[in-house]
Chains A and B, each alone.
Chain A
């Protein structure tokens, strides 16, 4: 049963894009992945409008005072099993904003993170590679 669930989860992934407090760049590279040059929709990966339809949550930016609790709330609404992918150095560890007074704590201390894709911003190729590695790891 668990194997079947994993198979279904990793077959055609609906991703929800949750921006914590980004500079927008990772967000745009995520959209770039969906547009003609990289076009991950041919692998069944689509952007969904609501977290309740999502299998994966792409988080960008640092969790700040206003978004930290919202991101936790959004994670709780995600149907399980689901994965969280931290895109960009900000989501992975805070980048240069870790010294900011509005930085709460690293994302992985708020919600469990399955995959880290560092770089500022990660190339679309890097995002695709991250997702592929995650799928391989989940399938075991």
Chain B
């Protein structure tokens, strides 16, 4: 059968860009033959805000707030990786107490992000009870965040050389108790996912990524750990307090959606363990020693990594001796994980596509900081015409006084 005839037999189902599947706008094109998915096209770019370019016009301390707004769910991961990068650039050693506090924030974020995913996965399966429960038990995690940082999301805790706010020793007992209360619901979720026949039927053997495929597609985070590849930046390249507390990397073997869920649930229990270890550590250090008091950033290059809930997030910062980065490059884990949908969704049915697409926990907010050009179809998402229009609009805005040049 020639390529053309093949094309005639397939049906294209467009999903998006505004659809109830995910919160962010993105566009999937499912090519199907009957019920079977044979090809998948993903169009991104609806979320591009030009963050890397903006980072170059802000000074080092402001960028920490900017990268926090790369993504609301990973709002600790990006500043975490960014401060790691700048500290690598300037050879800054931060106090132990700041290390513990950073790890606590990082793990609280993992807890709320994984619970969020679990809820959404339940929702995609049509299992709204799981959605409501997971989000109900996510609230106490946000309460702990609010108690420590003052905000439910966007913590603004990370600062080059330390953290902005201390956890008082008097508060530790309260936070410890709140962490204890999380374990019971987490155990309940583990039991519920392991024993529920409906979840088994919908997720076991669906969207399988083999170990070799996971390595070939350079996948990251829980997506790759569910396929039996044990990589975790927290263990492989320790930073903050991760080598000062006891925990282990969770790995499962099958690579299907069920295993991805299992990895995330077991990781949440590990996160609680890390938080408790860090709280123990806080008691040993002196209150108030949370800042290395950095005065200036020299010229040079630095890289920083953090194991975000979705995988490794990577920041590169180049300084030229001034007070702002000369170049700031971000690579978010979803950038690596989203293309894997092309193998995991193909061959499955349309009804499974939703959960398979969701299984990597895609985060387009993180991913879309660069303009995307599809080389295969030569379709520019931001075309020359758009650029001209953008330029004309800006001129108009300047004339009317809406936009002032910097």
Q: Do A and B come from one complex?
A: yes
Interface residues of A (CB under 8 A from B): 17-29, 31-32, 35-37, 47, 49, 51, 61-62, 64-67, 70, 74, 95-105, 109, 120-121, 123
- The answer to whether B72 and A26 touch across the interface, beta carbons within 8 angstroms, is yes
Number of A-B contacts (CB under 8 A): 126
Q: A36-B135, A100-B54 are in contact. Are A21 and B72 (CB under 8 A)?
A: no
Given contacts A19-B25, A23-B365, A96-B69, contact A28 B153 (CB under 8 A): yes
Contacting residue for B381 out of A25, A66, A101, A105, CB 8 A: A66
Contact in complex: B136, A37 (CB < 8 Å): yes
**What are 13 sample pairs from A and B whose C-beta atoms fall under 8 A apart?**
A23-B70, A31-B23, A37-B136, A64-B47, A66-B45, A67-B17, A70-B17, A96-B69, A100-B53, A101-B390, A105-B397, A120-B69, A121-B72
Given A67-B25, A67-B46, A70-B25, decide whether A25 and B73 contact each other with a Cβ distance below 8 A.
Answer: yes
CA of A28 to CA of B365, assembled, Å:
13
Which residues of chain B come closer than 8 Å to A35, judged between CB atoms?
119, 131-132, 135-136
Whether, in the assembled complex, B284 has its beta carbon less than 8 Å from a beta carbon of chain A, the answer is no
Q: Once the chains are docked, how many angstroms separate the CA of A103 from the CA of B47?
A: 11
Flag if A64 contacts B406 (CB, 8 Å): no
Inter-subunit contact A70/B18 (CB<8 Å): yes
A97 contacts across to B, CB distance below 8 A: 49-50, 54, 69
- Which residues of A have CB within 8 Å of B136? 35-37
Return the CB mask of B48-70 against A: 1 if under 8 Å, else 0.
11110110010000000110011
Q: Assuming A21-B46, A65-B386, A99-B57, is B24 touching A27 (CB within 8 A)?
A: yes
Q: How long is the Cα–Cα vector from A92 to B110 in the complex, in angstroms?
A: 29
Bound complex: CA A127 to CA B127 (Å): 26
Which residue of chain B has the shortest Cβ distance to A97 in the bound complex? Answer: B49
Instruction: Give chain A's interface secondary structure class.
Output: mixed
CB-nearest residue of chain A to B25 = A19
Asked whether B152 is an interface residue with its Cβ less than 8 Å from the other chain, the reply is yes
Contact residues in A for B397 (Cβ distance below 8 Å)? 105
B139 at interface by CB-CB < 8 Å: yes
- Nearest B residue to A88, CB-CB: B72
CB within 8 A of A31: which of B65, B135, B406?
B135
Given contacts A21-B46, A32-B135, 7 further A-B contacts (CB under 8 A): A21-B49, A22-B23, A22-B365, A65-B386, A70-B46, A97-B54, A102-B49
Complex-state Cα separation, A57 to B127, whole angstroms: 26
Q: Report the nearest B residue to A124, measured CB to CB.
A: B152
The residues of A that contact B157 with a CB separation of less than 8 Å are none
Given A65-B390, A67-B46, CB of A25 within 8 Å of CB of B139: no
A-contact 0/1 string along B126-149, CB 8 Å cutoff = 000001100110010000000000
Q: With a CB–CB cut-off of 8 A, which chain A residues contact B363?
A: 24
**Residues on the B chain within 8 Å of A22, using CB:** 23-24, 47, 72, 365
Cβ-closest chain B residue relative to A28: B72
* Residues of the B chain whose Cβ atoms lie less than 8 Å from the Cβ of A104: 390, 393
Chain A residues near B186 (CB, 8 Å)? none
Chain B contacts of A18 at CB under 8 A?
A: 18
Give the docked Cα–Cα distance between A95 and B381 (Å).
25
Per-residue CB proximity of B92-120 to A under 8 Å, as 1/0? 00000000000000000000000010010
Contacts of A70 in B (CB 8 A): 17-18, 25, 46
Measured in the bound complex, the distance between the Cα atoms of B154 and A121 in whole Å is 8
In the assembled complex, the CB of A126 is this many whole angstroms from the nearest CB of chain B, namely 11
Instruction: Give the residues in chain A near B381, CB-CB below 8 Å.
Output: 66
Q: Do B48 and A25 touch (CB < 8 A)?
A: no
Contact of A62 with B49 at beta-carbon distance under 8 Å, contacts A23-B70, A31-B135, A121-B153 already known: yes
**Alpha-carbon distance between A109 and B393 when the two chains are bound, in angstroms:** 13
Determine how close the nearest CB of chain B comes to the CB of A27; give it in whole angstroms: 4
In contact, B50 and A101 (Cβ under 8 angstroms):
yes
Q: Which one of A21, A101, A105, A123 contacts B152 once the chains associate, using CB atoms below 8 Å?
A: A123
Contact of A36 among B132, B153, B382, B386 (CB under 8 A): B132
- Determine the residue in chain A with the shortest Cβ distance to B137: A36
Interface string of B291-316 (1 = CB under 8 A from A): 00000000000000000000000000
